[in-house]
Amino acid sequence: MATTFFIRTTNKTGFATLFARVQRPERKIDIKQSSTIQIDIQRWKSAQKSAKSMSNFLQENPQLSEIIRRLDLASSEPDFNADVMKNIIRDIVYAEEINAEKKRLEEEGRKSLMQYYKGFLEDIISGKRVTEKGFKFAPLTVKHFNQGYNKLVQYQETRGIRIDWPDINMDFYSDYTAFLREIGYSVNTIGTRIKELKAIIRHANEEGIVVNDIYKNKKFRILKEDTDAIYLTEEELKKMRAVDISDLPLGYQIALDTFCIGVYTAQRVSDYNSLCKDNLKIIGGKTYVEVIQKKTRRKVIIPAKSELTSILEKYFELPKISEQKLNEYIKEIAKRAGLTDLIEIASSKGGERTTTMVPKYKLVHSHTARRTGATWMYLADMDKYDIMKITGHSSTQMLDKYIKANELEVIKKVSKAEYFK
């Protein structure tokens, strides 16, 4: 048994707070936590006289037996920590209050978690609910929230349970993320599901619904890992632009031009695939491209490279191409251009960590354009804050995830600094 109890007092009579302690020496775990339960000191000392006395004491106090059972089970898991322990104790000790809160919500007609989530989803689809800046939610955001709702429904059906606001605790977090791994979700997709759920809880909390604040805890985290994020060198893009695709349908040339626009502007695909020559502006004798970013609604003005200007001026209006087709066509072009170097890709799916070698052309997709543009700007010694003004990233930490220069290129960039001259 990993869990024991103790009191911290020198008094011989009266009442004292009972503390729980979990020890697993093989994993260097030794955590103490107040149970908040007040215990008669003399009764406690009597219970400690023998194993039988303690057994009888625990039978008389089923809450303590349940704490031992749950903590012994949870402490065998790799992510067990003080927060998990605290929440297990809270859920057991305050079970009556939690159940009473559920009943009160039902009697008041207050929306349950799933009722609120469903209503939230309906409101963002209809446009009744808008973002904090007053804009409609982007289609991709709506899609993600819908997937999140459906996955919560599936989780409850699979586990044979019904969850509500008070149930959102670290036990839930551990079990829900475990469920998502069981059904084969990658680390990043699990992170997306948690991100959506945290957003729902935050909105509900702001609207006066009583929620468990554990969702704010750093342990209730949004999981994320780098996977196949690559960028193209200038030489590689030149090869793609020079490759003969005359035997392919016109859509391939449109895909290539659209992708290049993404590189030269470092914008999201939702922004760069809708640009045309009307976005070109002459300011002070120089050509710029003006973009209204769909996600942030910010206006961005980007100096236009000659290559970008020539592409936009080719078309009266650049024909639209779906992101799916863009990804399909650009891979074929990259393959013809000889982008066949093997790239080592490590990823986690279904709880399993795997490493594979993949030809680079298979990793090229719509988002590669934005990463490539941001990386080129960085290697050209542009200030990160200036790059952020173009890409729309809210922090240098977010931007750093897009900059994919290899070590040699970074060394070359650093060596240009005055310090090393």
Q: Locate the domains of the chain by residue range.
A: 3-93, 110-216, 234-420
Helix (H, G, I), strand (E, B), or coil: what is residue 323?
helix
39-51 pLDDT, tens per residue? 999 999 999 999 9
Q: What is the pLDDT of residue 334?
A: 97
Question: Residue holding tokens 């298979």?
Answer: 362
Q: Is 148 a residue whose pLDDT tops 80?
A: yes
Percent of the chain with pLDDT over 90: 49
Q: Looking at residue 412, what is its pLDDT? A: 62
Q: Give the model's confidence band at 138: pLDDT under 50 very low, under 70 low, under 90 confident, else very high.
A: confident
- The reported pLDDT for the residue numbered 41 is 92
Average pLDDT over residues 110-129: 90
Tokens of 389: 């003004």
Indicate the average pLDDT of the chain.
Answer: 87
Does the structure show a pLDDT above 70 at 80?
yes
DSSP 128-188: SS--TTS-PPPHHHHHHHHHHHHHHHHHHHHHT----GGG-SHHHHHHHHHHHHHTT-BHH
Q: DSSP alpha helices (H): ranges in 4-138?
A: 41-47, 51-60, 62-74, 82-93, 95-108, 113-126
| Range of lowest pLDDT (31-35, 52-56, 221-225, 299-303) | 221-225
Q: Give yes or no for a contact between 374 and 266, defined as CB atoms under 8 angstroms apart.
A: yes
Residue 30's SS3 state is: strand
User: pLDDT-derived band of residue 306, with 50, 70 and 90 as boundaries?
Assistant: very high
Confidence of residue 316 (pLDDT cuts 50, 70, 90): confident
The C-alpha atoms of residue 74 and residue 71 are separated, in whole angstroms, by: 5
Q: What average pLDDT score do residues 277-293 get? A: 92
CATH code of the domain made up of 110-216? 1.10.150
Helix (H) or strand (E) holding 330: helix 323-336
Judge whether residue 151 has pLDDT over 90: yes
- What's the pLDDT at 263? 96
Whole-model pTM: value is 0.55
Flag whether pLDDT at 143 surpasses 60: yes
pLDDT of residue 356: 79
**Range 234-420 classified under CATH 1.10.10.10:** no
- At 262, is the pLDDT very low, low, confident or very high (cuts 50, 70, 90)? very high
Confidence at residue 140, expressed as pLDDT on a 0 to 100 scale: 81
Q: Which amino acid is at 375?
A: T
Q: Are 88 and 94 in contact (CB under 8 A)?
A: no
d(CA 273, CA 325): 12
162 HSE (CA, 13 A, CB side): 6
Q: How many CB atoms lie within 10 A of CB 231?
A: 23
Check: CB of residue 142 under 8 Å from CB of residue 127.
Answer: no
Helix (H), strand (E) counts: the chain:
18, 8
pLDDT in the model for residue 106: 62
